[in-house]
Structure 1
Amino acid sequence: MVTVSGHGPWPGGEGDVLEAQLTVTGDLAELPAGVGAVPFLVQLTGRGPGADPVGRTAALLAEMPVELGPHGWKLTDRPGTDQRRAEAFAREDLGALAIAAHGYAGPFALEVTGPWTLAATLWSARGDRVLADKGARRDLGLALAEGVRAQVAAVHEQVPGVAPSDVVVQLAEPQLGAVHAGVLPTFSGYSRLRAVPGPDVVEGLRPVVDAVHDVGARAVVHLGETWVGVPPVVLAGADGVGLDLGSLGAGGWNERAWELVARAVEKGVGLWAGLPPAQVSQCAGPMLGELVNLVAVPWRRVGLPASALDDVTLLAASRRALASTDEHRAELANLGRVAEALAERAAA
């Protein structure tokens, strides 16, 4: 069935985690009949450093301590206050999940920053981006793989009804395109880091994807607007690929992008479709038909069968920054209605 989920970012600060997690699990439980739901671990980035996507993921790295530097998170020789803060946020998140999802059994999603985006964002202890050092980025991928294994186990420990096989690990890779194109600046800013060829991109993803599969979970790689990353994601063995469809062009149509999506779907890779917020008409309310067409029209135009729409997962576009909890809740409700309409088309 068509499913609704989310990336994780949610408004709020200190003391708001439990309420946010309760809201997510409650709202997703109230989606229309016939629509699937994958609750997700909320990320209250407003709590500050350590709650941000890079910081919370870096704190998972096995035997690779991190700290905040002048340009952001960087590797260091030993754990310090910054890492302990990030780890404390992680424990707080899992504690809130244990309460909010008490008695829950079923699928569950958690998002971490993917290995290439992490390598492009983290700085070496005494040098450039981790991306600049082939050995360091290999070690980073292996450390992240171990961290992901531990995180899946921690979710199962807090919510026994969520078996490792129920977990979907979402790897956020918005920088993968920039890594492959060689457009990221060096530390000095006077030059660009060397482009990473396609086969190396695949090899960088594979240890983390394999780690997810080793614990029985599923791996989805979210590319945001970077549709050229679809082939490496498929070759790395991911179970799903995420794209923000609103970025592909008018009506969500980009022939080259959708051809890549079609090939992925035909190989059994699921589409996690990021949708923009619905435009609101003063007379008719949210214009959800436009969002339905953003998925369904290109899908049929590229030759995919309508029945296969039933395997699509919908979520808010990855770069969408919402200002309030009400906006988030409204977006989840709208996605539920869009999913219901897509399910009807799949069954027609």
Structure 2
Amino acid sequence: MTGVSGHGPWPGAEHDELEAQQTVLGDLAELPAGVDAVPFLTQLASRGPGADAVGRTAALLAELPVELGPHGWRLTAHAGLDQRRAEGFLREDLGALAIAAHGYSGPLAVEVVGPWTLAATLWAARGDRVLADVGARRDLSLALAEGVRAHLAAVRAQVPALGDVVVQLAEPRLGAVHAGVLPTFSGYSRLRAVPGPDVVEGLRPVIEAVHDAGARAVVHLGDTWAGLPPVVLAGADAVGLDVGAIGWQERAWELVARAVERGIGLWAGLPPVQVSQCAGPMLGELVRLVDEPWRRVGLPASSLDGVTLLAAPRGAPAGVDAHRAELANLGRVGEALAERAAA
């Protein structure tokens, strides 16, 4: 059945976390019949450092303390105030989830930054990006695997009746890692490209930890498809792509088709709907972003019921009303795709 979910980021201040989680659970419960709702653990990044995606994920790393440095989050010898703040924000989020989802027994999605994007973003205590050190990035992958396993246990402890859990691994930098285009600390050269087999080996411990915890793994590549084959080989249950940004690229959709034929799901990120003064929201444009390339590569319409829709990450902040409207619009797009799958 076609589904609707979200990445997690939500507008609001610190005291709005409970309201944000209640809003997401409530709004997704009202989606049209025939559309699966996959509520998500909300993240209020506006609370400051430690509530951001990288900071909250870095705080999960087992036995790898982090702190804020001049250029962003970096590894350090001992956990300090920065890490404790990030851990505190996450405890608040889980506490809000426990209240908002009391008695809830449906699915839930939680998002963390994937190992390759994390390695490309975190800095070593003294030196370049963690990505530059083969041993350090291997340790990072293993530490993230243990952290994700503990995180999932904490989520289930807050909502004991929780059903299917999906871990969304955000990997927007995986394509750049694979292509070797990330600059070094000095900016005068580029870090060496990471070959496909190494990409697989970096992803696999985290995906296996997700599976060991009884959850499913979705690896989001954002607006690039270059890392799709390694993601499939690493054992992901689904791949996430911002199909609005990719558009019709035959090679990309051929790789999607091969993945779908192997039983891998697609989580399709869609841009905000355009609104016509005469006709209102132009939802048909969003339907076509998924349906047309799907058919052009020869995938059967019936398999559209395995697609999950979510809003592509925004470049600029938007208010709560805009986020709620976007979820409602995705529900209507999902309903249209479900009807085509059943036709």
TM-score (norm 2): 0.99
C-alpha change, 1:147 and 1:76, in structure 2 (3 Å) is same
**Which residue identity is paired with 1:94?**
L
Within 5 Å, give how 1:84-99 maps onto structure 2: 84-99=84-99
Corresponding residue of 1:338: 333
Distance in 1 between the 2:179 and 2:314 partners? 20
Q: Following superposition of structure 1 onto structure 2, how do residues 197-346 of structure 1 map, counting pairs within 5 Å?
A: 197-248=195-246, 252-346=247-341
Shift of 1:283: 1.1
Residue correspondences, number: 343
Summarize deviations over 1:227-281 as a string: whole Å, max 9, x none: 1111010000000000000111xxx211000000000000000000000010000
**CA distance in structure 2 between the aligned counterparts of 1:86 and 1:114, rounded to whole angstroms:** 17
The DSSP-based 3-state class of the residue aligned with 2:62 is: coil
Counterpart secondary structure, 2:226: helix
Q: Structure 2 CA distance, aligned partners of 1:239 and 1:113?
A: 17
- Residue by residue over 1:93-152, the C-alpha shift from the partner in whole angstroms, topping out at 9 and shown as x without a partner, is 000000111110011000000000000000001111000000000000000000000111
Q: 2:165 aligns with which of 164, 167, 181?
A: 167
Give the distance between the partners of 1:320 and 1:44, measured in 2 at CA: 16
Unaligned runs of 5+ in 1: none
Counterpart Cα distance in 1 of 2:117 and 2:314: 14
Q: Deviations over 1:149-186 (max 9, x none)?
A: 011111100001115xx110000000001101111111
Structure 2, unmatched stretches of 5+, are none
Percent pairwise identity? 82
Q: CA offsets per residue over residues 301-331 of structure 1, 9 Å max, x none?
A: 1100000000100000134544100000000
Distance between the aligned counterparts of 1:274 and 1:320, measured in 2?
14
The SS at the match of 1:77 is: coil
Which residue number in structure 1 is paired with residue 101 of structure 2? 101
The CA distance in 2 between the partners of 1:156 and 1:216, in whole Å, is 11
Aligned partner of 1:71 in structure 2 is 71
Write out the 4+ residue segments of structure 1 that deviate beyond 3 Å after TM superposition.
Answer: 319-322
Bigger shift: 128-137 or 321-330? 321-330
Quote the residue 2:123 is aligned against: 123
One-letter amino acid of the structure 2 residue matched with residue 68 of structure 1: L
> In structure 1, what is the Cα distance between the partners aligned to 2:223 and 2:27?
27
SS in 2 for 1:68: strand
Amino acid at match of 1:80: G
Give the TM-score of the pair, scaled to structure 1. 0.98
Matches of 1:328 and 1:228 in 2, distance apart? 29
Q: Aligned Cα RMSD in Å?
A: 0.8
**Which residue identity is paired with 2:191?**
L
Q: 1:153 to 1:240 in 2, by over 3 A?
A: same
Change (3 A) 1:340 1:322: farther
- Contact 1:4/1:315 (CA < 8 Å) preserved in 2? yes
